[in-house]
Amino acid sequence: MKTSILIVYGIPNCDTVKKARAWLTDHGVAYQFHDFKKQGVPAELLPNWLAQVGEAVLLNRKGTTWRKLDEATRAAVVDDASATALMLAQPSVIKRPVVLWPNGQISVGFDEAGFAARAAL
């Protein structure tokens, strides 16, 4: 899915999202912000995100939200369908930010060198 503008998906109070947004602003890169808390997780995009990076990257198994889930819920995440259901129910379990670049590719998390390379696209 190509887009005319870069879109940053995440939660505004997440430190990594803040770093990514600051980097984009400081480097004059125009972007839209999609707040998972206010706007929800775009269910129609999850299959593409999972196809590009996989649930091992997209699902944050190190975060507080994951650790607070009961063992049965964590154990039930065995494939893309179960990961999708969890991400829709618990948006905070998605590693952030998810960035949709104008070329249709996504990146997950913030890496300054990676952003610099992609922003040059």
Q: Domain-by-domain residue ranges, the chain? A: 6-119
Single out the catalytic residue among 6, 7, 8, 14: 14
pLDDT digits (tens, 9 = 90+) for 47-102: 999 999 999 999 999 999 999 999 999 999 999 999 999 999 999 999 999 999 99
pLDDT exceeds 60 at position 1 = no
Q: Is 44 a catalytic site residue?
A: no
pLDDT of residue 16: 96
Fold topology of 6-119: Glutaredoxin (3.40.30)
CA angle 78, 81, 83 (to 5 degrees): 60
Joined tokens for residue 29: 């890169």
- Encode burial over 24-46: b for 16+ CB neighbours within 10 A, e otherwise: beeeebebeebebeeeebbeebb
pLDDT digits (tens, 9 = 90+) for 14-35: 999 999 999 999 999 999 999 9
pTM score: 0.92
Q: In the 8-state DSSP scheme, what is residue 32?
A: E
